[in-house]
Each structure stands twice: as structure tokens, then as C-alpha cells.
Structure 1
Amino acid sequence: MFRRSTANGTAADQPGAVPASSEATQPSSGKGRPTRKRREAEAARRVPFIERATRGSRPSRAELYARREAMRRGEESALPARDRGPVRRFARDYVDARRNLAGLFLPLGLPLIILLNVPSPLIRYFAALLLYALIFAIIFDSIFLAWAVRRAAAARFPGEPLRGLGMYAVLRAMQLRRARIPAPRVRRGEKV
């Protein structure tokens, strides 16, 4: 197969060799247009993402502010796809109606992290112990929240897809209540 021609014949006469005429009969497969120059490809990549997404029309500051306010109010048309639908609205209301340990991480965890840098070994020991206890309590509360939201949503919305609903609820619970978008519609302790 990989031999040179011999005195008796050529390499094409050997078994397993590809005849030269078969290569000429195959059509060339091109893309039908010339390749772009490098500077053209780089210039196309430099276009800002918002400009690419809206095809040249950039939203004004007032339009962006109006869209953000519509998201805060919870208008369905202004929400991203992950927040739309009655199941996600129920999960948001379920999270907003209960007290969550995950929301306490910043107010309680940050001072404990600062106490870890105190020179006293006793204070550092108790700060680390409390910080680990807080983290484990948040983990268990988040697991229970995800389970409870999925169970309540399955009972209220039979046949609806619940994929990712538990994680959606946990991530909302981790946010500070005032910073949640859309803003909470129910008070704490209210029945959902």
C-alpha cells in the first residue's frame, strides 16, 4: 500500500491501492463564497451585544428604566423567560411568604467572617463554629424549601413541568427581600 512502484508494476496495481481516477470523479465541496478577511471578522465581533440583539436600535435610558420598573411590578411581558408563568409566580409567593435562613447569611455571616480575623483564638473558634452552624442550617433549610415548593406546586398545578423550580425558589430565598425582582407581592406569614 505504501510502496514505491516496482519494476513489474506501479503502486496502483497493488491490492488495496486507490486508483487515481476516483479522486478526480469526486466533486469538490466548497462553501460557495469567499472567506472573510480577518479584520472583517474581528470588526463583526466588536459590535456590542445589545446592539447585535436589537439589530442596531439601542434602547434609550428611559426605555430601560421603564422595563426595569415593569419587571419590579411583575408584569409578565417584561419578565425574563425563567420568571414567567403561574408556577414560577407561585414559587415566588411561597418563598416571599416564609422566613428563610438563606436571607440571613449576609446580616449574620458577614460579622462572623469579620470575627474570624480577631487576634483572640477563643473568639475565632466560636466565630468559626457559629459560621459553620449557620451554613449547615441554611443548607438544610434550602433543601426543605426546594422540596416543599415542588410538592406544593405539584399539588396546585398538576401536569405542569416543575424542572428547576426548587433551585429557583432557593436562589430567590438567598436574595435580600428588598432586592428581589419582581418585588414580593405577599407579606411574611401570609397564606399562599
Structure 2
Amino acid sequence: MSPFPPADPRALAASGLDAASVHVWRLPHHRGAGRSALAALLAAYLGVPAAALAFVSGPHGKPALAPPHDALAFSWSHSGDYALAALARGVAPGVDLERVQPRPRALELAERYFAAEEAAALRGLSGEARTRAFFALWTAKEAVLKALGRGLAYGPARVAFALQRGRAAPRAFAGEAAPASAWQLHALAPAPGYVGAVAWRGEPRRLLAFAADAPVS
């Protein structure tokens, strides 16, 4: 998925985030800004001041909104100059964003932390093709594990993907993430030089992507 057209979160909030969709936002991010941009975006959707929001952490550290706003689920990731936020109702989304840059140790990392079939697929590539495939797999794993609420401590090899034309597709998930067929995964191209992925467990939904190139107020 590529286009991230500029939009006003307040206008979209007025039309509602329905149970058949997932919204993904590209936001500007600056070192030291913390979650202020995320809080402003969530507040715009909820129609409340950002100061009215409180965050809680799940058993494995996954952030969520505290009641009475907890019906709005979100996931958050930042890299470089941007952040991505995924919002949904009725499912827990997971999103990951990475700035694409050379990874000389990509194959070494894959052989250590990825499933054997994934490492083999990367071994058959070289140069930029290997770098992009590595990031496709990495963002897919992060997105699923964030949606699961477990993070990388769950074990990246336990959520295995097949590379199909440079994109990751769920192949075999172990433990509480299983089965892989229960998951929806979408690759994201939020800006030149960046890749991302969004995932959720459940039925397919309409995925809508937007950009807020100025801080949400």
C-alpha cells in the first residue's frame, strides 16, 4: 500500500472509525517528542483534549488507552523523521516502521533469529534485494508481535513468513499467535526510504492510510 494522502484527523473523526476499517497515519516525529503526536491523534478521534487521555500497559508492555477510552485500540512505531499509528475498534492492530538503510549483517541476523526458511530465502538474494527483503520480513514480524501484545521477546522465528515478490506473507505461526491464516498483514510504503507493515488478527478490513504532515492540534 503506497499513498498516504494529507488529511485532517478531526474531519475523519467526525465521520467515525467503523468496525470494518483500520486507519494508519503517518506523523512527523522528532527525537525527544515522546508520544505527544500519538496522544494528539487519539484525542482528535475521541473528541477529547489530549490531557484527558491516560495510557496503561499490558502484561508484556503493550500500551493501550485506559477506560473510558479503551475501545479505541492503537499501535505506534517511529523511525527517523516519521511515526506510524494504526487505529482500530474491535481488533488490536500492530504496526511497524523502519527507515531502509544498508544492513551488512542482515543475513547473520536472519540466520540467528528468523525461521530457517526465511534465512534461506535471504541467502538467495544479495545487495539491495536482500536488504529490502530483510526489512519486509522484519516489519511483518514486528507488526504481528505488536498486535499480539508480546513484542520480540515472543521469538521472531515463531512467526514465520514466506517472501512473495519481495513481500512477506504469513506462513506458519506457533503458540498463541497460531494459526497464521487468522492474520491480516499489509505492507506499507509511507515515505521514500521507509517501509512498514500493519497486522491484526481477524477478518479482512478496509485499510485507509493518511498523512498529517503538521502536528495534530
Same fold, TM exceeding 0.5?
A: no
Q: Which has the higher contact order (CA 8 A, sep 6+)?
A: 2
TM-score by structure 1 length? 0.25
Greater strand share, 1 or 2? 2
Greater helix share, 1 or 2? 1
